[in-house]
Amino acid sequence: MREHDIDRNLVSNIEMSDEMRESLIQDVKSGKRSKDKRFRYSTALTALCVAGVLIVSGGSASAAYLSYKNRVENMPQEEQQEYAEELENDVYNAGDEALSRSLTQAEKLRYVELQDAYYKDGVFPEENMAFLDTLSELTPDMLAYVEEDNKIHLPEGEMSDEQILQYIDHEAKYMHTIEENAEEASTAEAEEIDEQTKELEEQFDIITLEVSAEDEEHFKQQTKELIYEIFGEEVDDSWNYDVYEMDWSGMEGFDESWDGYEVTWCESDAPNAKTYQITIPKSSDGLFSINVCGMEVFAECEDFSWEDAQAYLPQGEETVKKFVKEKFGLGEPDRVEYYEAENVDGESIDCSWITYDLYYGENNVTVSWLISTDEVSSVTGKNLIKVD
Amino acid sequence: MSKKVTDADLEQTINEYSDTLFKICFLILKDENDVKDVLQETFIKYMTKAPDFKSEEHKKAWLIKVSQNKCREFLRFHKRHAAVPLDEVEESISVTNGMDTYSIEMLSLIWNLKYKLKSVVILYYIEGYSIKEISQIMEISESAVKKRLERARKELRMLTNVEGELVYERT
């Protein structure tokens, strides 16, 4: 018996009924997802929440943005119905599982360009993506959603620009449908939302606060400069910008020195648009982290198994050491560690980057390095000071 | 390499582990229908990913980890059951049936712990996992597990008296 043991019989009355177990077995066997759609779309919903905040805080909207919003918000009734049915039919298909094949490298690069054109310049496909009931209706050169197997079928050959635009348009409309569903659910639970938010903050011990207009402008200028100096990109007011104050001091392992501001610059409304995230400490002029993500960044990057990636370790180490020296004035670290990429289940996965931990005494700086492009995509450390 | 999960394997796995997962998730979510949703998502992940496990213990730990993640995902969006008192759920499940006052008080204290503390208490005290095993299941450091256990003990005001009996007092 363990000291301070709690009697296991405390939970002996908590039992699943036989009916519920039987229903669980039948539901899982048939691949039926839970009634709660938010399980399926939690990542997408989070992205949408962020996008929503960005839109609200972004000030005046461009004509192209309005054009895209207008397009997805004003789908004909029949098309809305098709998307609602697709959502309903979405049985454990997510990400690549939802496609008949992966996008080729050439298609990924065209996708990045056309997605930008779709969201920022209002470039739309001439026709909508086809919705088919059965696989027998499909031809090898078609791009279509097929209800029978609940997949988007890409043509066997390379997709044309029109087809890629149709696919991007489909994603935008599908995301909009999810958002609409979430909004309906939110409306039904409107009275609970404020209370839930408070409880959430209490549960996770992180407090998110809005910043004043003056501070918002200050961080805007500061992070614009940081992004240019560190990644060489000039972000401007056409990007979505947002800033929050983050109070981490209630969390285990964190004290007031971790409190700070989280700034996001997002190139467009696209779900995988290029995004810069910067966290700035409240108590000093340095920064905690800066990173860039989005399909534009990763489209050119090849995935490597850990076995193959190890051949590039010395090259990456040289690049990241040079990067932290040039940008943050850090010298030779005491030691360097690196990690194999794992998924949430702890399984090794193919990956386009290697993460290095550079140790300086008790402190460490974590840097992600993209193997194919020999570029740094993120750097994290306590109180990094940008070298002028 | 993963293999395909047969219906028989799925049924056996649900029969074997659904009770344990139900207890753990019910203490966190406090609503049996929400727990069913969480377990449905958990076993669908088991079926679709079909991981290869080194042992039954590895399989159990994986299922607990996934169900805990699903509970956290659920709470992130809902969180409406967090404040449900123990006596309010008695209508659906007689949680305290046959228990003495001491046990009811103890369960009530655990019931009201925050998610982060409660999850390690359940795994450590009720499921009997070691600190190292919990750190692997929860994907947090061993020191974070220890800190959470310390905080939980503090909140439960658990003390061992001179005779070695477990005693506690309300915070």
Residue with the bigger pLDDT between A52 and A353: it is A353
Q: Decide if A13 and B94 are in contact by the 8 Å CB cutoff.
A: yes
Q: Are residues B63 and B104 in the same domain?
A: no
What pLDDT is attached to residue A40?
Answer: 47
Q: Are residues B107 and B146 in the same domain?
A: yes
DSSP letters for A341-362: -B-TTS-B--BSEEEEEEEETT
- Chain B contacts of A205, Cβ < 8 Å? 116
Q: Decide if A196 and B95 are in contact by the 8 Å CB cutoff.
A: no
Q: Give the mean pLDDT of A333-359.
A: 81
Q: Give the mean pLDDT of A84-104.
A: 67
Q: Tell me which chain A residue has its CA closest to the CA of residue B48.
A: A92
What pLDDT is attached to residue A272?
Answer: 78
Residue whose token pair is 């103890």: B106
What pLDDT is attached to residue A295?
Answer: 80
- Chain A contacts of B22, Cβ < 8 Å? 14-16
Q: Give the mean pLDDT of B94-114.
A: 76
Q: Give the mean pLDDT of A98-115.
A: 86
What pLDDT is attached to residue A348?
Answer: 72
What pLDDT is attached to residue A144?
Answer: 92
pLDDT tens digits along A375-388: 999 998 877 887 76
Q: Which of A343-347, B22-26, B106-110 has the lowest mean pLDDT?
A: A343-347
Domain membership of residue B110 as a residue range: 93-171
User: Is the pLDDT assigned to residue A248 strictly greater than 50?
Assistant: yes
What pLDDT is attached to residue A93?
Answer: 47
Read off the CATH number of the domain in which B168 is found.
1.10.10.10
Q: Decide if B18 and A21 are in contact by the 8 Å CB cutoff.
A: yes
ipTM: 0.82
Chain Cα centroid distance, residue A320: 24
Answer yes or no: are the C-beta atoms of A33 and A42 closer than 8 Å: no
Q: Give the mean pLDDT of B21-46.
A: 86
Q: Does A18 touch chain B (CB under 8 A)?
A: no
Q: Which of A128-132, B30-34, B129-133 has the lowest mean pLDDT?
A: B30-34
What pLDDT is attached to residue A164?
Answer: 93
Phi/psi of residue B105, nearest 5 degrees: -65, -45
Residue A24: which of B115, B98, B136, B67 has the closest Cα? B67
Q: Decide if A203 and B107 are in contact by the 8 Å CB cutoff.
A: no
Mean pLDDT score across all residues of chain A: 77
- Chain A contacts of B151, Cβ < 8 Å? 252
Distance CA B85, CA B63 (A): 27
What pLDDT is attached to residue A161?
Answer: 92
User: Is the pLDDT assigned to residue A359 strictly greater than 50?
Assistant: yes
Q: Decide if B82 and A13 are in contact by the 8 Å CB cutoff.
A: no
Q: Are residues B38 and B104 in the same domain?
A: no
Of B44, B49, B77, the CB nearest to A38: B77
Q: Which of A168-172, A253-257, A304-308, A337-341 has the lowest mean pLDDT?
A: A253-257
Q: Which of A183-197, B67-81, B123-137 has the lowest mean pLDDT?
A: A183-197
Q: Are residues B36 and B107 in the same domain?
A: no
Q: Are residues B53 and B111 in the same domain?
A: no
Domain end residue (candidates: B49, B84, B119): B84
Q: Are residues B65 and B108 in the same domain?
A: no
Of chain A, the percentage scoring pLDDT greater than 70 comes to 74
Amino acid at A325: K
Of B15, B44, B147, the CB nearest to A252: B147
Q: Which of A6-20, B21-35, B90-104 has the lowest mean pLDDT?
A: B90-104
pLDDT tens digits along A27-45: 888 766 565 544 444 444 4
The secondary structure element, H or E, covering residue A363 is strand A363-370
What pLDDT is attached to residue A192?
Answer: 53
Q: Are residues B76 and B104 in the same domain?
A: no
pLDDT band at A254 (very low <50, low <70, confident <90, very high): low
Amino acid at B138: M
What pLDDT is attached to residue A361?
Answer: 83
- Chain A contacts of B35, Cβ < 8 Å? 16
What pLDDT is attached to residue B148?
Answer: 81
Q: Are residues B12 and B77 in the same domain?
A: yes
SS3 B3: coil
Residue A178: which of A34, A31, A40 has the closest Cα? A40
Of chain A, the percentage scoring pLDDT greater than 90 comes to 21
Q: Are residues B129 and B72 in the same domain?
A: no
Query: What is the count of structural domains for chain B?
Result: 2
User: Is the pLDDT assigned to residue A116 strictly greater than 90?
Assistant: no
What pLDDT is attached to residue A106?
Answer: 87
Q: Give the mean pLDDT of A212-218.
A: 77
Q: Decide if B147 and A2 are in contact by the 8 Å CB cutoff.
A: no
Q: Are residues B66 and B35 in the same domain?
A: yes
- Chain A contacts of B107, Cβ < 8 Å? 10-11
Residue with the bigger pLDDT between A56 and A225: it is A225
What pLDDT is attached to residue B144?
Answer: 77
User: Is the pLDDT assigned to residue A63 strictly greater than 80?
Assistant: no
Instruction: List all residues 6 or more positions away from A294 whose beta carbon is below 8 Å from its beta carbon.
Output: A267, A272, A273, A274, A275
Question: Angle B47-B118-B58 (CA atoms, 0-180°, nearest 5)?
Answer: 35
Percentages (nearest 5) of helix, strand, coil residues in chain B = 65, 5, 30
Gap from A297 CA to chain B (nearest CA, Å): 28
Amino acid at B18: S
Q: Which of A148-162, A165-179, B37-51, B97-111 has the lowest mean pLDDT?
A: B97-111
pLDDT band at A147 (very low <50, low <70, confident <90, very high): confident
pLDDT tens digits along A268-327: 877 778 899 998 888 777 888 899 988 888 877 888 888 899 999 999 999 999 999 999
Q: Give the mean pLDDT of A101-116.
A: 87
Q: Are residues B47 and B119 in the same domain?
A: no
Read off the CATH number of the domain in which B34 is found.
1.10.1740
- A&B contacts, CB < 8 Å: 142
pLDDT band at A65 (very low <50, low <70, confident <90, very high): low
What pLDDT is attached to residue B171?
Answer: 31
Q: Are residues B97 and B77 in the same domain?
A: no
Of A15, A36, A39, the CB nearest to B22: A15
